[in-house]
Amino acid sequence: MEILKRPMGDYQTNCYIVKIDGKEIIIDPGMGATEWVVSNVKNPVAILNTHGHFDHVWSNSELQNKLSIPLY
């Protein structure tokens, strides 16, 4: 397992990419996360939000459209 982390947006919300068994889960893609996420995933399977605050869900829609993956 490998975990990547990067603070996103004005609130510096941590966005995580968890890589396990050749697949990735994106956690809390905040403001401006799309470019970083897309450049660091090869086989994304889902987006996971820890809760619904705007700074944790900001890039959900953009990533779902770009990667065609479910949101949990």
Give the Å distances, CA to CA, from 67 to 10, 11, 30, 38, 61: 25, 25, 16, 8, 10
Q: What was the pLDDT predicted at 12?
A: 97
Q: What is the chain's pLDDT, residue by residue, as a tens digit (72 residues)?
A: 999 999 999 999 999 999 999 999 999 999 999 999 999 999 999 999 999 999 999 999 999 999 999 999
CA-based end-to-end distance of the chain? 20
